[in-house]
Structure 1
Amino acid sequence: MALSKVNAIAIGGFDGMHVGHQRLFDALGENGAIVVIETGYANLTPGSEREHYTHYPIVYYALDDIRHLEGEAFVAMLRERFPHLRKIVVGYDFHFGKNRRYSHANLGELFEGEIKVIDQVCIENDSVHSHKIRSKIQIGDLSGANRFLGHNYTIKGSVIKGQGIGKTDLVPTINLECPGYLLPYEGVYAALTRLDAEEHFHPSVVFVGHRVTTDGSYAVESHILGENIGSCERGSISFVKFLRKNQKFESLEALKKAIDDDILNARRELLHLSL
């Protein structure tokens, strides 16, 4: 859709594109667009990754480029970008302009069209915020994070060379380097892995953390369950559930036994999913 046709916008940081953000998008209507104020700290859906979680076009503004604007200049900027703008949707805690001194109440004074303010969204009496999702991911509560997100937490990256003992002594894995993303708590997860441009996911068991039993290096590695995977350049991992903490084993044999148990547990967790 051409931006010239846009008559409604939702404004925010929108890192995560979680269920609270989606409530704002639901108020846009047919000719809506999303305005992302990019702080540089987004690590749930960094950069254009947000575009995978909406059908609306997204326009990005770097916070450093607009943080000096007074309220009138901020609204003028939006009107210039969206000449047919009639409606602005924001969250209840939205602030903007120089020193964040303007709120949605000021926006209503500066903008002649409709201002739609969305109240906080709660799940099980807990308000949904990106910082809470980050906290859940950092303690391994991927089930809780996914519930707030409305989708599985997903990281993406380039396939890199591993330590080389997976295929020979343990199980074959795909190793990823995922810059820009918040990485989960160190441990083992039931997950879904997508390779290159594939449309489908592979049931997987994923390890995130330091290889304390072997070389001590940090790794994000996925073992695809029951499949032989050839070479690939890119991959994405969608975390479903935390299985166990990272731990050191006395031997490769003990590690292999733990991995076999992880595979069984991952299969059990992923069995009900329609892939």
Structure 2
Amino acid sequence: MKNSTSIAIGGFDGMHIGHQKLFSALDKSSTIVVIETGYANLTPKKERENFSHFPILYLELDNIRHLSGEEFISFLRNKFPKLKKIVVGYDFHFGKDRRYSFCDLKTLFLKEDEDGVVEVIDEVTLHGDSVHSHKIRAKLQIGDIEGANAFLGHNYTIKGKVVSGQGIGKKELVATINIEAKEFLMPKEGVYVTLTRIDDEEHFHPSVSFVGHRVTTDGSFAVESHILDGEVLCKERASISFVSFIRENQKFDSMAELKYAIKKDIATASKELKFLQL
């Protein structure tokens, strides 16, 4: 990173198509600088590294938010002695009380190096709607998976460690893999067409997944996935990639009704996923 000549700065939660536009302005000797605000739940912690080949430097906002504009530039130059280019979005702000904009960044950076470049990426839109992480979160929370995925440029994916389920799935319903993924934003409660990756396997299995409270049985919150191409053993962790929303979470009057609904969910997911190249 010390040899990087260009950087892109931002929060980059989601690594969505707007963020990718910033990254496209970088060169081979570049670093992505992530400012951690504490709100990242689309790509928490180092999950961002799955969506870029550039090295990533993580900075805690609380450690730099007090800096003046000049101090912020000095901080960056100390981290990147060969820095020649900074790429930011049109809504980028920095420094104490976020008082500095990209205009100030240009002035301060070029003041020290007249050959330096500050490239500002304009607003990225899709179908006339501006792309932002908060809009992706809103789409997920209403079950608009296709809309969220379009903004992301990839399927929304959560990851977690395997946990024990109720113990009745395999016996009375269908076998499921249950995970705990508290760091990720959960989409709207309901049933989804998904792709599930098991442990260290490279490929995803076609699946149907449930997110929400088990209102028909014990009422507890669960994230569980049923693999469609045969039962598999998951030892430690799994990833669930959301493709589309099937139905709302609902309470059934009997296990027989629940089992019938699950059968329909499986048929729906199977029909949709057979058109995807897995």
1:1-12 matches, cutoff 5 A: 3-12=1-10
Secondary structure of the structure 1 residue equivalent to 2:178: strand
Structure 2 residue ranges without an equivalent (≥5): 111-115
Task: Give the whole-Å Cα distance in 2 for the aligned partners of 1:94 and 1:226.
Answer: 46
The corresponding residue for 2:180 is 177
- Alignment match of 2:30 (pick from 29, 32, 42): 32
Task: Give the whole-Å Cα distance in 2 for the aligned partners of 1:214 and 1:42.
Answer: 32
TM-score by length of 2: 0.97
**Per-residue deviation at 1:5?**
2.0
Would you say how many aligned residue pairs link Structure 1 and Structure 2?
273
**Per-residue deviation at 1:225?**
0.3
The corresponding residue for 1:164 is 167
1:57-136 matches, cutoff 5 A: 57-112=55-110, 113-136=116-139
Cα RMSD of the aligned pairs, angstroms, is 0.6
Structure 1 residue ranges without an equivalent (≥5): none
**Per-residue deviation at 1:226?**
2.8
Could you give the per-residue CA deviations for residues 65-86 of structure 1, whole angstroms, max 9, x where no partner exists? 1100000010111101111100
173-182 vs 228-237, which moves further: 228-237
Task: Give the whole-Å Cα distance in 2 for the aligned partners of 1:27 and 1:116.
Answer: 8
- Alignment match of 1:46 (pick from 36, 44, 47): 44
Say if 1:87 and 1:114, in contact at 8 Å, map to a contact too. Answer: yes
Say if 1:241 and 1:269, in contact at 8 Å, map to a contact too. Answer: no
Runs of at least 4 residues off by over 3 Å: none
TM-score by length of 1: 0.98
Task: Give the whole-Å Cα distance in 2 for the aligned partners of 1:225 and 1:97.
Answer: 50
Tell whether 2:136 aligns with 1:138: no
Task: Give the whole-Å Cα distance in 1 for the aligned partners of 2:229 and 2:30.
Answer: 44
- The amino acid across from 1:153 in the alignment is Y
Task: Give the whole-Å Cα distance in 1 for the aligned partners of 2:271 and 2:151.
Answer: 23
**Per-residue deviation at 1:262?**
0.2
- The amino acid across from 1:64 in the alignment is D
Task: Give the whole-Å Cα distance in 2 for the aligned partners of 1:183 and 1:216.
Answer: 17
Task: Give the whole-Å Cα distance in 2 for the aligned partners of 1:80 and 1:64.
Answer: 18
The corresponding residue for 2:238 is 235
The corresponding residue for 1:56 is 54
Tell whether 2:225 aligns with 1:222: yes
Say if 2:161 and 2:238, in contact at 8 Å, map to a contact too. Answer: yes
- Alignment match of 2:274 (pick from 266, 271, 275): 271
Task: Give the whole-Å Cα distance in 2 for the aligned partners of 1:77 and 1:231.
Answer: 45
Tell whether 2:212 aligns with 1:192: no
Q: Identity across aligned pairs (percent)?
A: 64
Task: Give the whole-Å Cα distance in 1 for the aligned partners of 2:153 and 2:271.
Answer: 22
The corresponding residue for 1:255 is 258
Task: Give the whole-Å Cα distance in 1 for the aligned partners of 2:166 and 2:79.
Answer: 50
Could you give the per-residue CA deviations for residues 159-204 of structure 1, whole angstroms, max 9, x where no partner exists? 0000000111000000000021100100000000001111000000
The corresponding residue for 2:113 is none
